[in-house]
Amino acid sequence: MSDGTGILVPEVDGTRGTSVFGRAVVGDALRGADPVGATAVARETNWRRGYLTHFHRLVEAGIPDADTAVGMARDGLVSVQRRMRATTDDGEVALVDLLGSVRPALPLRSQTVEGGAEPETELTLPYDGRRLRGEELRDRLHTWTAAGVLEPGAEQAVVKVMDHPEWLSMPGRTLVTLGAASEMGPLHSILRWGGHVAALDLPRPELWREVLTLASDSAGKLTYPVADTAAGEVAGADLLHDLPQVTDWIARQPGHLVLGNYLYADGAVNLRLAAAADALTSHLQRTRGDLSMAWLATPTDIFVVPREAVEASTAAYERRTPLRRLRPVGRAVSGGRLLQRNYAPDEDPGINDSVVPQQGPNYLLAKRIHRWRAIAARAEGVRVSMNVAPPTRTRSVLKNRLLASAYAGSHRFGVTVFAPATSATLMAALLVHDLYADPAPQPSPWQEEAVRAVHGGLWRTGYDPRSALGIAVVLGLGSGRG
């Protein structure tokens, strides 16, 4: 699971099991708002199979009251930081105590690359082999809204950025990208628009060759960390093993910081990264007043959705399509599990469950840590950008044969899967909007998450996504063979 050093899940009965940790954190988050739900978590004997029920309760318990949702978020974050461990020269400490007690022995230095290209001063979107701009881009956004691919607030936000191209270079702000080389991250866009990025990623030479080449060919400025080692200068740093050094380096960056978390790894490492990044985020929030925060929410999660999405889904379910003729057969052979409704017709609000169980509880908890921090920080007056990103054909998706096939067949259910460049640029535009547009606070945390969601149609399709997954996989495999 790990090399036994750095940021680690706690040891219980001689093992560092993520299931024990995940169950404890979810229980702690629920205890104040839903004691019965917390008891059910404690009684769960098979976390890897039963976790979805409890993540549903995390969402449901926060619907009626915004203060309850904020309280659950804070309780969950406290649990993560107190339970997660960090190794030091003097032994293990709770993660919450690491950054206040350990000073970096060898601080990271900064180096900067400035590109010589002219900055783009108009928002354009790569799509289907072209770059959309002006009215063509507005038409595409409107088409996506009409098709239920994104929520109306997302279209409105991107159009506002089009009307304010002076925002694109992020004047007065430095974007700190954790996971700079992420396919879904905003690095390419912000550098193309002439912004300043402080980039953090693993110390891998091939990764940094690509990032530094991109920066030198761009219109922006890239600052990155360098460590002095016995082998010479090394670009990058490892968040799991160099958290005090990374935190110190970020804290020394100039300007109003926008801390963007685009980290991803497989399995338990993803959960450890989420906890490490959250400790960094919490520390910077306490020590720097000029801090904004940014994440991308995954569409394969559980979200509360507005009545309008439920109504659109109900209409799609009742529409006469070839899939409608398959419903009786599908239900008969699956015991009623296939092609279920996405929502009950009168749900208000609805709950969309687009979780892919194969991604596992560690993935979902890592994403929940991001969502909790966004909720808690927004309640404390921090400017936050966290929007649901669309299903996207990234490398991490395509290496999973089941997900890749499901994405290939998902258009049969009204779901649009995006190319990485389209997703990354669209979400970068929403980031810029959230940083510069006059904030329009929503009544509750779930509405903040929903208002600008680019879910690809998962919220408005007629069918519960998981009940259609198997058919989408089969159709996708057929498409691949074709």
Give 25-71 pLDDT, tens digit per residue.
999 999 999 999 999 999 999 999 999 999 999 999 999 999 999 99
Q: For residue 230, what pLDDT band results from cuts at 50, 70 and 90? A: confident
Interatomic CA distance for residues 262 and 190, integer angstroms: 14
Contact 433, 141 (CB under 8 A): no
For residue 52 the two structure tokens come to 């979805």
Interatomic CA distance for residues 368 and 297, integer angstroms: 9
Q: Convert the pLDDT of each residue in 149-187 to its tens digit.
A: 999 999 999 999 999 999 999 999 999 999 999 999 999
Contact 301, 354 (CB under 8 A): yes
For residue 135 the two structure tokens come to 């009215």
Angle at CA of residue 177, ends 172 and 179, nearest 5°:
175
What are the structural domain ranges in the chain?
Answer: 7-104, 109-309+355-390+418-461, 310-348+391-417+462-481
pTM of the model: 0.94
Q: Convert the pLDDT of each residue in 353-377 to its tens digit.
A: 999 888 899 999 999 999 999 999 9
The DSSP symbol for 5 reads: -
Helix 268-287 to helix 360-379 angle (10° resolution) is: 10
Write phi, then psi, for 433 (nearest 5 degrees): -55, -50
Q: How many CB atoms lie within 10 A of CB 249?
A: 24
Angle at CA of residue 96, ends 92 and 99, nearest 5°:
85
Identify which has the larger pLDDT, 163 or 14.
163
Question: Cα dist. 164→12, 167, 420, 435 in Å?
Answer: 53, 6, 24, 12
Fold (topology level) of 109-309+355-390+418-461: Rossmann fold (3.40.50)
Helix 360-379 to helix 66-83 angle (10° resolution) is: 120
Question: Cα dist. 420→106, 128, 416 in Å?
Answer: 37, 11, 13
Closest CA to 222 of 180, 281, 280: 180
Q: For residue 125, what pLDDT band results from cuts at 50, 70 and 90? A: very high
Interatomic CA distance for residues 61 and 368, integer angstroms: 14
